[in-house]
Copies of this chain bind each other. A is one copy, B any other.
């Protein structure tokens, strides 16, 4: 067996109505919170006011910053971190999807450094390895999507507006202290968001399973999350009010987050290539992986046939009598059929990518997402990445 280590330091409250735990837990994190939420939607649904009220009932003062962009930008974080310090906040609350939770992490981190800009700490910046940085202020995440898994990872992704990149980073201090996963908050999610975020969960689960850093601990979560998405995403798409389907997808998201966020675990080349599409086009994160996933699987399926065979099984496309090699060889097709089933079999051109962007995207994948690229079971050169992009155009 492998040598590995693990822990799940975030305390996660899961279940319908559990948003109420905001009141019980917030005061353990600090006295004054900056509450970061997406522009408009959280206020329109009333969720923002509800969480603000629960924080106050819990004895916490609140500064609301409900101007988080769908892909949060470096300049936004710089401004929010300044406000955090000016208002003397001592913890950050991210309410919403990945963008809000990642903003809360980035703000809690940058504010703790007491100076500089977030670009200093992102790929290409002078302190990008985060060594010697101060630990972030405490973070509370409340996810309203079954999406990014950000509530159980240390990772945060901020758009570099100067270079059109979406670098991801994070360290132990940017794991949420507490996360709340309340499927009731997800009932009003539009179908398109349900799909794009649900597909992201599928890729977290599948990629962490075929990562060279997978461990017996993360595999348990990866396999179960793949199974749950296949079983429940369709129902959540058909009827957004189906609390059981929402709950199962929320749970799949939570544990896929553990699988990509725990220890040295990670996604692989699919996320690396997807992020660079997102940097160029602002396309929905989940769809960027859908565009490149099948080509990645065709390129890598023979790197570990037992693992890729298990992907075909978990996606529900194993036939009796097929050999492990046959099952592994069919994993790209199994992924394609799964994407088709959920209405998101797309090509990069559907997302606005042009052939002329490919070289810049390949550069960016190596510059900003080398960590994920290096977790692939088959090592990918720059020409390999260009080839995968061309095949997926």
Q: Does A2 contact B (CB under 8 A)?
A: yes
8 CB < 8 A contacts A-B: A1-B16, A5-B12, A6-B8, A6-B11, A6-B14, A7-B12, A8-B9, A220-B221
Least Cβ distance of A245 to chain B in Å?
A: 10
Lowest 9 A-B CB distances belong to which pairs? Answer: A3-B15, A8-B8, A1-B247, A7-B11, A5-B13, A220-B220, A7-B8, A6-B12, A4-B14
Residues of chain B with a CB closer than 8 A to A15's CB:
1-4
Residues of chain B with a CB closer than 8 A to A66's CB:
none
Closest to A182 in B: B3
Q: Does A248 contact B (CB under 8 A)?
A: yes
Closest to A6 in B: B12
Q: Does A10 contact B (CB under 8 A)?
A: yes
Closest to A18 in B: B3
Contact size range, A: 20 to 34
Residues 240-278 of chain A, each 1 if its beta carbon lies under 8 Å from chain B, else 0 = 000010011001000100000000000000000000000
Least Cβ distance of A1 to chain B in Å?
A: 4
Least Cβ distance of A203 to chain B in Å?
A: 20
Q: Does A326 contact B (CB under 8 A)?
A: no
Least Cβ distance of A13 to chain B in Å?
A: 5
Residues of chain B with a CB closer than 8 A to A10's CB:
7
Residues of chain B with a CB closer than 8 A to A221's CB:
220
Residues 4-43 of chain A, each 1 if its beta carbon lies under 8 Å from chain B, else 0 = 1111111111111110010000000000000000000000
**Known: A7-B9, A14-B5, A15-B3. Is A220-B224 also a contact (CB below 8 A)?**
yes
Residues of chain B with a CB closer than 8 A to A255's CB:
217, 220
Q: How far is the CA of A12 from the CA of B6 in the complex (A)?
A: 5
Residues of chain B with a CB closer than 8 A to A352's CB:
none
Least Cβ distance of A261 to chain B in Å?
A: 13
